[in-house]
Amino acid sequence: MGYTKEMLEAIAVKLRNMPPIEEKTTKYSKQEAVRILAKEIAALKTRGYTIDQIAETLRGEGLDIATPTLRSYLQRVRPGTARKQNGRTRKDTPPAAARPSVKEQATSKAKGTFTPTPDSDDI
């Protein structure tokens, strides 16, 4: 079935006139809730509250969250944190210019390295 320009324009008008969804009906996950409340939680920590006390307060307000979970979610929210990758954080990884090139690595005479040789026809 084909759609005429007039039909599509009528649908577009109806879509534009749909009322906005009220914010209070939006449901958030625990992780999203912690992300939204992160500044307030950080302020409490600066005022001397422990993560256990903050988690207990959140549970008292209806946000059922365990202390280790809260700690984990806060680490994910914190700007500037780098995930560990092969035992090192991305911040610790030297930039490409500072790392030796593949050719330099191949010609290195360091212990545990070898020098590649061309293939031969012998089996």
Residue 5 region, left (φ>0) first, then alpha (ψ -120 to 50), else beta? alpha
For residue 99, being part of any structural domain is answered with no
CB atoms within 10 A of CB 34: 22
Q: Looking at residue 56, what is its pLDDT?
A: 95
Q: Looking at residue 77, what is its pLDDT?
A: 87
For residue 71, being part of any structural domain is answered with yes
In whole angstroms, give the CA distance from residue 94 to residue 88. 11
Q: Domain containing 46: what range?
A: 29-79
For residue 89, being part of any structural domain is answered with no
Q: What is the pLDDT of residues 21-41, one digit of tens each?
A: 777 767 889 999 999 999 999
For residue 101, being part of any structural domain is answered with no
For residue 13, being part of any structural domain is answered with no
In whole angstroms, give the CA distance from residue 4 to residue 10. 10
Domain count, the chain: 1
Mean pLDDT taken over the chain? 81
For residue 66, being part of any structural domain is answered with yes
For residue 100, being part of any structural domain is answered with no
For residue 112, being part of any structural domain is answered with no
pTM for the model: 0.48
DSSP-assigned states of every residue in 68-107: HHHHHHHHHHSTT---EETTEEGGGSPPTTTSPPHHHHHH
